[in-house]
Amino acid sequence: MKDMTYQPLTENDLDMVVKKYVEYYNEAEDGYWTYEKAYKRIHQIMTIEDSMCLIQFGDDGEATGFAIGFFKQYDDLLAYYLEEIVIFKGLHGRGYGTDFLAELQRRASENGAEHIELVSVNDEHHLHFYKKSGLYAAKNLLVMGKHFT
């Protein structure tokens, strides 16, 4: 692992994180995020009961990314649901995401979770990233949706 540090994501961090989120998704992923929509999305997860949201910092003290998620109780185990992990624009391919995911798993386990779950974009880049960290595609679940017109 690199010499990374992690801190809880707080209200004081929201402006910076939201701006970086909008920059990344609108420029690198052709998104249509506004500051207000991104703020609401991130703030919603931060304020969920049992949330665990972190910022990752490099050895130079600069923020490299953030993750938002929460603990979910099931009948047979406690899971950590990773809503989003974002490495900021221009910092991909340096191992930050791999280190961050390992840290999230470590902290989730320390807090009693036995499982991590997430919904991922179904493309080779994302599948490769998650599979190399030991995650697998669930065979017993299917994401369902309906778009209202």
Asked whether the predicted pLDDT for residue 1 surpasses 70, the reply is no
- 148 within domain boundaries: no
Domain span at residue 66? 5-132
Distant-in-sequence, close-in-space partners of 27: CB < 8 Å, separation ≥ 6? 89
The pTM (predicted TM-score) of the whole model is: 0.92
pLDDT score recorded for residue 123 = 85
- CATH code, 21: 3.40.630.30
- 142 within domain boundaries: no
- 140 within domain boundaries: no
pLDDT digits (tens, 9 = 90+) for 41-82: 999 999 999 999 999 999 899 999 999 999 999 999 999 999
Give the mean pLDDT of 125-143: 89
Give the mean pLDDT of 105-127: 92
- 149 within domain boundaries: no
- Total structural domains in the chain? 1
Rounded to the nearest 10°, the torsion over CA 96, 105, 41, 6 is: -50
